[in-house]
């Protein structure tokens, strides 16, 4: 008999095809999904960890699952998850996320890629898996995950990723790799706006923006229609000053702008950092389909830059993603999805007052904490 908590997990993954022929002789796939997700919530970062967690908490799992054959071995987890259809898994995961994620209206959605460095296998000529993530910055929710053979394949993949999202009244932020007209149009087609960083891969556009804002600087930024915002952050031995400048623009203004669909503003950010007395300066240029509102633009850009700390850093440091040696078949892609799903659950939890690392540790040590996290999440 399944508990209500386990039923939620089963319901969302029941359409995934079990790759094994003799299903009756093996551990149930739904049970394996529940054990793997629960172990990821509670600090397990490898299949051996999943087995250790399962066997040490077998009485807890027996309250939620039939467990006719006990906890699967780490070899069983590795073998079965490596053979799963990753497309079916991600489809199921994305549908579940859509059920509990908040509306994207007014939110920033950052698109960024990450390489799972430990997934490479030089002996078999296997490159490390590269994932692209759509991340809701305000709620810190992973919305979508897509994998590509390597980083160079990100550009054509992102418009496909955007087609999976309802972006009405949301703003998609992208780095310079995705400074592509086709990508901007894909955002507009889904009802959203874009803010795209511009660098040397778009030379004429980059040159125009540099000239435009250098001209503003020569006039001490005293120009009609120019919006400016300066912020200052201090902490941990560093100081950072950000100066945001936004101008209204149209495609008729210059040849370099004419290709960009829905263009309404251009901008520049100067970031100055002082770390132990040493100064670093970085200038970022961008084009956008948003109105030239500097405070809102600054908020959205800060959210995009925060993906490194809110997602990538957490995955590598708290979930040890870069250190993962899971390599076989679809195993790296499926376990990456399980980590992101576990991260979403922990981010939304309000029953445990601790950081993400602390929540994972406490869920692993105290079964009542794990019960509270699951119970609260299943009500969403």
Burial 87-113 (b: 16+ CB within 10 A, else e): eebbebbbebbeeebeebeebbbbbbb
Q: Is 166 helix (H, G, I), strand (E, B) or coil?
A: coil
Using 50, 70 and 90 to split pLDDT, how confident is the model at 255?
very high
C-beta atoms surrounding 350 within 10 Å: 8
C-beta atoms surrounding 201 within 10 Å: 13
Whether 124 shows a pLDDT value over 90: the answer reads no
pTM of the model: 0.93
CB within 8 Å of 15: residues ≥ 6 apart: 88, 92
Whether 131 shows a pLDDT value over 90: the answer reads yes
Per-chain mean pLDDT for the chain: 92
Whether 223 shows a pLDDT value over 60: the answer reads yes
Cα radius of gyration rounded to whole Å, the chain: 23
Per-residue pLDDT tens for 295-347? 999 999 999 988 888 999 999 999 999 888 888 889 999 999 999 999 999 99
Instruction: Look at residue 122 in the predicted model and tell me its pLDDT.
Output: 56
List the single range of 27-41, 148-162, 188-202 with lowest mean pLDDT: 148-162
Average pLDDT value for residue range 234-242: 82
Using 50, 70 and 90 to split pLDDT, how confident is the model at 156?
very high
From 128, 176, 124, select the one nearest 155 (Cα to Cα).
Answer: 176
Instruction: Look at residue 120 in the predicted model and tell me its pLDDT.
Output: 57
Average pLDDT value for residue range 105-123: 81
């Amino acid at each position: 008999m399944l508990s209500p908590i386990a039923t939620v997990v089963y319901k969302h993954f029941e359409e995934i095809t079990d790759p094994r022929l003799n299903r009756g002789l093996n551990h149930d796939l739904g049970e394996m999904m529940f054990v793997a997700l629960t172990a990821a919530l509670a600090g397990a970062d490898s299949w051996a960890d999943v087995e250790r967690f399962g066997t040490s908490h077998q009485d807890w799992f027996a309250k939620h699952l039939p467990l006719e054959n006990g906890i699967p071995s780490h070899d069983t987890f590795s073998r079965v998850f490596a053979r799963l259809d990753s497309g079916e898994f991600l489809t199921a995961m994305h549908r579940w996320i859509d059920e509990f994620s908040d509306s994207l209206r007014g939110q920033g959605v950052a698109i960024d890629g990450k390489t799972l460095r430990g997934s490479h296998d030089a002996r078999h000529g296997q490159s490390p898996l590269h994932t692209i993530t759509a991340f809701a910055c305000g709620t810190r929710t992973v919305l979508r995950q897509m994998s590509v053979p390597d980083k160079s394949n990100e550009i054509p993949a992102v418009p496909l990723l955007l087609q999976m999202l309802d972006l009405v009244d949301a703003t998609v932020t992208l780095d310079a790799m995705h400074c592509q007209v086709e990508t901007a149009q894909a955002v507009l087609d889904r009802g959203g706006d874009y803010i795209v960083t511009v660098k040397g891969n778009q030379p004429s556009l980059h040159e125009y923006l540099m000239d435009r804002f250098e001209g503003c600087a020569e006039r001490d930024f005293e120009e009609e229609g120019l919006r400016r915002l300066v912020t200052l952050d201090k902490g941990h031995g560093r100081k950072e000053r950000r100066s945001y400048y936004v101008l209204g623009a149209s495609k008729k203004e210059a040849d370099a702008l004419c290709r960009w669909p829905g263009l309404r503003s251009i901008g520049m950010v100067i970031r100055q950092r002082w770390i132990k007395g040493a100064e670093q300066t970085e200038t970022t240029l961008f084009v956008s389909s948003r109105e030239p509102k500097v405070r809102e633009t600054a908020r959205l850009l800060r959210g995009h830059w925060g993906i490194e700390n809110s997602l990538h850093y957490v995955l590598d440091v708290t979930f040890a993603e870069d250190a993962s040696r899971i390599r076989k078949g679809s195993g790296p892609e499926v376990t990456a999805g399980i980590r992101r799903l576990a991260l979403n659950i922990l981010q939304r939890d309000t029953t445990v007052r601790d950081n993400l690392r602390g929540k994972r540790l406490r869920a692993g040590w105290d079964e009542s904490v794990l019960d509270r996290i699951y119970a609260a999440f299943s009500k969403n």
